[in-house]
Amino acid sequence: MTDQNVTKVLLDESEMPRRWYNLVADLPSPPPPVLHPGTLAPVGPDDLAPLFPMALIEQEVTDARYVDIPEDVLDVYRLWRPSPLYRARRLERALGTPAKIYYKYEGVSPAGSHKPNTAVPQAYYNAAAGIRRLTTETGAGQWGTALSFAAAQFGLECEVWQVRASYDQKPYRKIMIETFGGVIHPSPSPLTAAGRAVLERDPASPGSLGIAISEAVEVAAQHADTNYALGSVLNHVLLHQTVIGEEALLQFAKIGVTPDVIVGCTGGGSNFGGLTFPFLREKLAGNLDVTIRAVEPASCPSLTKGVYAYDFGDTAGMTPLMKMHTLGHDFIPDPIHAGGLRYHGMSPLISHVYALGLIEAVAIAQSECFAAGVRFARAEGIVPAPEPTHALAACIDEALRCKESGEPKVILTALCGHGHLDLAAYGAYLAGEMTDHAPTDAQLAAAIANLPSVPA
Amino acid sequence: MTDQNVTKVLLDESEMPRRWYNLVADLPSPPPPVLHPGTLAPVGPDDLAPLFPMALIEQEVTDARYVDIPEDVLDVYRLWRPSPLYRARRLERALGTPAKIYYKYEGVSPAGSHKPNTAVPQAYYNAAAGIRRLTTETGAGQWGTALSFAAAQFGLECEVWQVRASYDQKPYRKIMIETFGGVIHPSPSPLTAAGRAVLERDPASPGSLGIAISEAVEVAAQHADTNYALGSVLNHVLLHQTVIGEEALLQFAKIGVTPDVIVGCTGGGSNFGGLTFPFLREKLAGNLDVTIRAVEPASCPSLTKGVYAYDFGDTAGMTPLMKMHTLGHDFIPDPIHAGGLRYHGMSPLISHVYALGLIEAVAIAQSECFAAGVRFARAEGIVPAPEPTHALAACIDEALRCKESGEPKVILTALCGHGHLDLAAYGAYLAGEMTDHAPTDAQLAAAIANLPSVPA
């Protein structure tokens, strides 16, 4: 097969990767340890056992290069994987660029995003450990939908706290979660101490991922038959997502193409890590010369404007301390439509990779992102979720630079989900009602003033 | 490849069918002619020229067995075609049936349904004929979305009249149509004489496909640079949809399986005809012993409760007369959520095939269909559009009969679209707020009392 006429590069189910890739094994130095919030000592498996099954805790700390994917997980993956790698020929033509633009499309999954790649193994390992119920948070709703679907595959109950701003903006998400059998609450909710505390201070709180995490963790910690599941940030989540990049490598090999630039949006980092880590392995091994660029919202710029420091993963300060690029755990981002990118911190592993200088980062305002989303939809037929419009905006920027310079670069981006349940945001954009807010320097400084104190 | 472990059967782009199949060439008798509403003489190309480009008029009346698909159309088809053929292993397991259930999934298209299969060629032929704007009607919004997307591919404007009941139920459809660049009005609208006439009689009219067709046709007939496009019913529409069945035949051949029963939902008939006509060709040739079953909503039962007679395609009586199974052109179906099945008539070609005894038909109430849709979603991960839940309900009925009898039948169904923009309907179902209304015998008799008089 050559790349001459292909619009999408497909893999058979028999070509689906059968193991996840762990970037930690190939980094020049390991990421800093996760610390217990009380003792400030590195957390051990026992500290995490109230929330996660041992199989996932082992994956969180392993330095093995590969982890086998269980057969029962592969069986569910087959409902949508391998996902297609598209060549965006019609977008290239619309831009008039010599660049070749490829996108790996994860919107074919049950939830419409990359999230089921980790929801399914998380549900599987919890069910295998005898757990009866999973709790979680969700922003835009992609993760809650994914976990609700995955829980149904293994006979688990699923209870979801959704950030209030997204809960109100995207009512269809609630119905989809319920269609898959899950239960959903807006967060902050009166059901938990963490939620009640926020509501007392601000009854109209739009919520945040940090608050919703506090609520879901609180309920899981209180019940022995209940565990918590996180949709991003942690090492085992990024591990599971590497099926995306492993497939993309196989697909590029099929057409004899290698990417020059990879761009992906980053909220907690799982989509970005999932696509890029296998390429980073090839780059570290000297097999590939590629620029890897993270794209974050200007309203929540943890990589480009945050500090690299130990911080809590949640707002209430219940989680272990992770060293990460953070805006401060009580930073509440503007309620932009890309709910999945409204997180105060960045995955510790991606923060470490950024600190090592292995990747770049840029921040883009949401109206530029939606303009890119509409442009993409009219050319390619897929209406992207608000989150990957950030990657598309950066991708179009790069393609237009190629038009200036005449360079026929190969650009790869992660189209991590469709926007069918985010159309209200497109409605606001098309009606000219979208606004852009970036935090001021004073707001940024105030938010990091409350970082926990950790001796160097 | 065997069928032992496969979840989805894929085709490469190089295996995509390069011609459409015309069932008329293989029928024992041709369908009755379409008549001019004034003269009652068979219509000729000139009668249709104000609405359609000559290439489509020729396809409407051709008796050639195959029509080549233009390269520019294939180029757009490649954005999502060939579509996957799925084996519903997890649904089979949930039902405990020995039946093997396959579904051909058209929800991977830009509009999320089978509709772009004909929207793209219709836009192509109109653009090639120098047309500047297309008008159309839409029910649930799938067709309007498809035409809006297709028009954008060939530089055409697109104006859509959407049935008011669906316009109100499914606000995201409007935004998706606008995202692709189309313009949308609720129907009945004050913009046309046909719409104003209905609004005078009933300002709160929920509308119907028949009324919306009248509005779109009226505007197209008044402007030389504007043509009309229909999303179902007509021969050329069903012709374009045969790519579905042609692909499914290739996919079954790959795994060495043949279907015993095919079930598909029918509104105007294009999804049903598109999937089944290539299989009907094989059945007529003696190559295949297969039962083919159409499924319609109990609230709009044109095949099972209508009469086979000449009738108008629209409510205002502006279209030519077609011999079809009809409930009467002024029958306004209950505003069920399967807006795409709310049409008073059935495709003349499918009506003819039904009269010839080549297919069966059943009618199912919507709450049974939604129950099937939820069952399917939890097992397979895809939330179906309300329309194909009718096919899924009939498919599950058949699979449960197989469970009783122990027969390992192979069942094929058309999953013609996803329900991401129909989630409000699932919300109503899950909240227990869904009602079922079938027309009474008196209502049916009253509706056919106004059929136009055509000498035998």
| Across A194-203, A292-301, B63-72, B161-170, least confident range | B161-170
Going by C-alpha positions, the residue among B164, B176, B266, B239 that lies closest to residue B209 is B164
Distance (Å, whole) CA B300 – CA B439 = 8
Residues A358-368 have pLDDT tens digits of: 999 999 999 99
Instruction: Identify the H or E element spanning B149.
Output: helix B142-153
| Across A340-349, B141-150, B413-422, least confident range | A340-349
Going by C-alpha positions, the residue among A348, A270, A338, A274 that lies closest to residue A311 is A348
Of B8, B179, B423, the CB nearest to A374: B179
> Which residues in A lie closer than 8 A to residue B109 (C-beta atoms)?
381
Range of the domain at B318: 3-16+69-112+236-448
Q: Exposed (0-12), middle (13-18) or buried (19+): which is A123, by Cβ within 10 Å?
A: buried
**A456, pLDDT greater than 80:** no
Of A10, A172, A179, the CB nearest to B12: A10
* pLDDT at residue number A127: 98
Any alpha helices (H) in B180-208, and if so which ranges? 193-201
Q: Is B110 on the interface with A (CB under 8 A)?
A: yes
Tell me which residues of chain A, numbers 149 to 178, contact chain B at a CB-CB cutoff of 8 Å.
149, 152-153, 171-172, 174-176, 178
- The pLDDT > 70 percentage for chain A reads 99
Put simply, the answer to whether B427 touches A175 (Cβ < 8 Å) is yes
Q: Is residue A456 part of a domain?
A: no
Distance (Å, whole) CA A284 – CA A278 = 10
> Which residues in B lie closer than 8 A to residue A5 (C-beta atoms)?
13
Nearest CA in chain B to A429: B179
Q: Is residue B58 part of a domain?
A: no
Mean pLDDT across A122-143: 95
| Rg, chain A, Cα only | 20
Going by C-alpha positions, the residue among B342, B313, B277 that lies closest to residue B48 is B313
**In this structure, what is the dihedral angle of CA atoms B50, B56, B62, B67, given to the nearest 10 degrees?**
170
Going by C-alpha positions, the residue among A443, A299, A441 that lies closest to residue A367 is A299
Distance (Å, whole) CA B391 – CA B95 = 16
- Answer left, alpha or beta for residue A406, where phi above 0 means left and psi between -120 and 50 means alpha: left
Put simply, the answer to whether A382 touches B110 (Cβ < 8 Å) is yes
Distance (Å, whole) CA A89 – CA A108 = 20
Q: How far is CA A36 from CA A45, A48, A317, A455, B82, in A?
A: 11, 10, 11, 13, 52
Q: Is B112 on the interface with A (CB under 8 A)?
A: yes
Nearest CA in chain B to A381: B110
Q: Is residue A89 part of a domain?
A: yes
Q: Is A331 on the interface with B (CB under 8 A)?
A: no
Put simply, the answer to whether A109 touches B78 (Cβ < 8 Å) is no
**A2, pLDDT greater than 70:** no
**A207, pLDDT greater than 70:** yes
Distance (Å, whole) CA B154 – CA A46 = 61
The number of C-beta contacts closer than 8 angstroms across A and B is 112
Mean pLDDT across A192-210: 93
**Arithmetic mean of pLDDT over chain A:** 94
Residue A41 contacts by C-beta under 8 Å, 6 or more apart in sequence? A35
Going by C-alpha positions, the residue among B313, B357, B110 that lies closest to residue B211 is B313
**B134, pLDDT greater than 80:** yes
User: Which tokens hold the place of B347?
Assistant: 């495709």
Q: Is B189 on the interface with A (CB under 8 A)?
A: no
Tally of domains within chain A: 1
Distance (Å, whole) CA B31 – CA B61 = 10
Q: Is residue A418 part of a domain?
A: yes
Put simply, the answer to whether B382 touches A175 (Cβ < 8 Å) is no
- The pLDDT > 90 percentage for chain B reads 86
Q: How confident is the model at residue A1 (pLDDT cuts 50, 70, 90)?
A: very low
Distance (Å, whole) CA A197 – CA A192 = 9
Residues B365-405 have pLDDT tens digits of: 999 999 999 999 999 999 999 999 999 999 999 999 999 99
Q: Is residue B392 part of a domain?
A: yes
Q: Is residue B51 part of a domain?
A: no
Instruction: Identify the H or E element spanning B33.
Output: none
Rounded to a whole number of angstroms, the distance from the CA of B39 to the nearest CA of chain A is 43
The answer to whether the pTM exceeds 0.90 is yes
Q: Is A421 on the interface with B (CB under 8 A)?
A: yes
Q: What share of chain A is helix, strand, coil (3-state, %, to 5)?
A: 45, 20, 40
Distance (Å, whole) CA A3 – CA A8 = 10
* pLDDT at residue number B1: 45
DSSP string, A433-456: --------HHHHHHHHTTPPP---
* pLDDT at residue number A319: 87
> Which residues in B lie closer than 8 A to residue A7 (C-beta atoms)?
13, 78-79
Q: What is the CATH number of the domain that holds A91?
A: 3.40.50.1100
Of B12, B381, B427, the CB nearest to A110: B381
Q: How far is CA B179 from CA A90, A340, A372, B163, in A?
A: 17, 21, 12, 19
* pLDDT at residue number A4: 56
Put simply, the answer to whether A7 touches B79 (Cβ < 8 Å) is yes
| Rg, chain B, Cα only | 20
Q: Is residue B201 part of a domain?
A: no
Residues B358-373 have pLDDT tens digits of: 999 999 999 999 999 9
User: In this structure, are residues A135 and A143 in contact, taking their beta carbons and an 8 Å threshold?
Assistant: no
User: Which tokens hold the place of B238?
Assistant: 């069903």
What are the two backbone dihedrals, phi and then psi, of residue B177, each rounded to the nearest 5 degrees? -60, -40
Q: Is B18 on the interface with A (CB under 8 A)?
A: no
Place of tokens 């009249």: B161
> Which residues in A lie closer than 8 A to residue B149 (C-beta atoms)?
378, 381
Q: Is A405 on the interface with B (CB under 8 A)?
A: no
Rounded to a whole number of angstroms, the distance from the CA of B58 to the nearest CA of chain A is 29
User: In this structure, are residues B212 and B138 in contact, taking their beta carbons and an 8 Å threshold?
Assistant: yes
Q: Is residue A50 part of a domain?
A: no
DSSP string, A206-253: ---HHHHHHHHHHHHHH-TTEEE--SSSSHHHHHHHHHHHHHHHHHHH
Q: How far is CA B265 from CA A449, B85, B385, in A?
A: 61, 17, 11
3-state SS, residue A184: strand
**A429, pLDDT greater than 50:** yes
* pLDDT at residue number B4: 56
User: Which tokens hold the place of A283?
Assistant: 């780059």
DSSP string, A89-137: HHHHHHHT-SSEEEEEE-TTSTTSBSTHHHHHHHHHHHHHTT--EEEEE
Distance (Å, whole) CA A54 – CA A64 = 16
Q: How far is CA A391 from CA A140, A348, A356, A416, in A?
A: 17, 21, 22, 9
Nearest CA in chain A to B381: A110
Place of tokens 């439509």: A337
List B262's β-bridge partners, or say none.
Answer: B292, B412
C-beta atoms surrounding B27 within 10 Å:
18
C-beta atoms surrounding B367 within 10 Å:
16
Mean pLDDT across A293-310: 96
Check residue A161 and report its DSSP letter: E
Put simply, the answer to whether A421 touches B420 (Cβ < 8 Å) is yes
